[in-house]
């Protein structure tokens, strides 16, 4: 019995030594020959316009891997997706689409292509020009409406516009937009602020043309008002969410508008107040909803 016990213990020691030797022979890094990586990743994809679907494109990956993610250049970044993805682009522009695949061992590969969307969708396309305020071309789409004598100024930044005001002065920016009678539109934008007090911020859409050095108060759609309980403190979000001003078209909280006649209307964004260190806006939009 003693011989058998010693033999079993000896076999255990031999097995332990062999296992340690095998582990020691394995490469330390992924991709150094340990057989757990993929070396032939292909993140490429083809782009096909979808027939009978305006501004819609089908992206088809060349292969299928453990994970596949897409960045369609729509502001969402990389999101997990399938081998085939159909995407609608409501706005004209150049889009840099990226596809990232991950294989065995966590090795990843990324491929990109650009697509040109020549015209905005007639229903869902953004009618506002320069609404993202990216550069001087965007800035030139807006006209400053002077109302007060001073201490209220819109400042165009790279990617946003900021209004600064004091002593209850106000100023606006505006642009002309062509609309269709009876068609429903939605207006929105991202707005942020910090430390504003006794302030008003109003978005209007009206057929009345603005006149320099005259106040503008025609057809308020949405806005902020510190006396009504919004626009103070630190905040950031869609104006349709953080605002508290009723729509004069519907007499309720809404960002939709319709017009009785086709033609030119003016989208006006006005702000002023006692203490306005700054309201900042970007991604200003006016889009058809598809209703009517």
The Cα–Cα gap between 21 and 76 comes to: 49
Confidence of residue 38 (pLDDT cuts 50, 70, 90): low
Q: Is the pLDDT of residue 292 over 90?
A: no
Confidence of residue 178 (pLDDT cuts 50, 70, 90): very high
Q: What was the pLDDT predicted at 134?
A: 94
Q: What was the pLDDT predicted at 37?
A: 59
CA neighbor of 70 nearest in space, from 106, 88, 43: 43
pTM passes above 0.85: no
Q: What was the pLDDT predicted at 214?
A: 98
Q: What was the pLDDT predicted at 264?
A: 98
Report, as an integer, the average pLDDT of 157-181: 98
Report pLDDT digits (tens) over 56-90. Answer: 999 999 988 888 999 999 878 899 999 999 999 99
Q: Which two tokens stand for residue 251?
A: 């007499």
Q: Is the pLDDT of residue 235 over 60?
A: yes
Q: Spell out the SS3 assignment of the chain.
A: CHHHHHHHHHHHHHHHHHHHHHHHHCCCCCCCCCCCCCCCCCCCEEEEECCCCCCEEEEEECCCCCEEEEECCCCCCCEECCCEEEEECCCCEEEEEEEEEECHHHCEEEEEEEEEECCCCCCCCECCCCCCCCCHHHHCCCEEEECCCCCEEEEECCCCEEEEEEEEEEEEEEEEEEECCCCCEEEEEEEEECCCEEEEEEEEEECCCCCCCCCCCCCEEEEEEHHHCCCCCCEEEEHHHHCCCCECCCCECCCEECCCCCEEEEEEEEEEEEEEEEEEEEEEEEEECCCC
Question: Is the Cα torsion angle 116, 191, 223, 170 positive or negative in sign?
Answer: negative
Q: Is the pLDDT of residue 25 over 60?
A: no
The Cα–Cα gap between 184 and 154 comes to: 29
Q: What was the pLDDT predicted at 291?
A: 74
Q: Is the pLDDT of residue 173 over 50?
A: yes
Task: Count other C-beta atoms under 10 Å from residue 124's C-beta.
Answer: 17
- Name the phi and psi angles at 222, rounded to 5: -165, 170
Confidence of residue 36 (pLDDT cuts 50, 70, 90): low
Q: What are the chain's domains?
A: 45-117 (2.60.40.10), 136-288 (2.60.120.260)
Q: What was the pLDDT predicted at 7?
A: 34
Report, as an integer, the average pLDDT of 160-164: 99
Report, as an integer, the average pLDDT of 49-55: 95
Report pLDDT digits (tens) over 91-147. Answer: 988 999 999 999 888 899 999 999 999 988 988 999 999 999 999 999 999 999 999
Q: Is the pLDDT of residue 23 over 80?
A: no
Q: Which two tokens stand for residue 183?
A: 């068609």
Distances (CA, A) of 56 to 129, 191, 241, 252, 268: 22, 29, 29, 35, 32
Residues 215 and 202: beta-carbon distance below 8 Å: no
Q: What was the pLDDT predicted at 64?
A: 83
């Amino acid at each position: 019995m003693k011989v058998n016990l010693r033999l079993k213990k000896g076999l255990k020691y031999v097995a332990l030594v062999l296992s340690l030797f095998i582990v020691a022979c394995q490469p330390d890094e992924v991709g150094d020959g340990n057989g757990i990586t993929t070396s032939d990743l292909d993140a490429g994809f083809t782009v096909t316009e979808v027939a009978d679907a305006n501004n819609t494109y089908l992206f088809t990956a060349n292969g299928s891997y453990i994970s596949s993610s897409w960045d369609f250049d729509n502001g969402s970044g990389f999101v997990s997706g399938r081998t085939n993805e159909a995407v609608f682009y409501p706005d004209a522009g150049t889009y840099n689409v990226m596809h990232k695949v991950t294989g065995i061992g966590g090795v990843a590969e990324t491929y990109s292509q650009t697509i040109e969307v020549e015209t905005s969708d007639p229903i869902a396309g953004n009618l506002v020009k320069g609404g993202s305020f990216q550069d001087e071309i965007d800035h030139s789409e807006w006209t400053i409406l002077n109302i007060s004598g001073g201490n209220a100024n819109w400042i165009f930044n790279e990617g946003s516009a900021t209004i600064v005001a004091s002593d209850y002065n106000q100023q606006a920016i505006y642009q002309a937009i062509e609309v269709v009678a009876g068609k429903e539109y939605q207006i929105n934008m991202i707005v942020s602020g910090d430390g504003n007090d006794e302030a008003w911020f109003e978005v209007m859409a009206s057929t009345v043309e603005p006149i320099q050095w005259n106040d503008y108060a025609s057809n308020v759609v949405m806005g902020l008002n510190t006396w009504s309980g919004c626009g103070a403190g630190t905040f950031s979000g869609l104006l349709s969410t953080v605002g508290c001003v009723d729509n004069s078209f519907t007499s309720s909280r809404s960002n939709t508008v319709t017009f009785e006649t086709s033609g030119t209307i003016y989208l006006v964004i006005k702000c002023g107040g006692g203490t306005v260190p700054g309201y900042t806006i970007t991604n200003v939009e006016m889009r058809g909803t598809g209703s009517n």
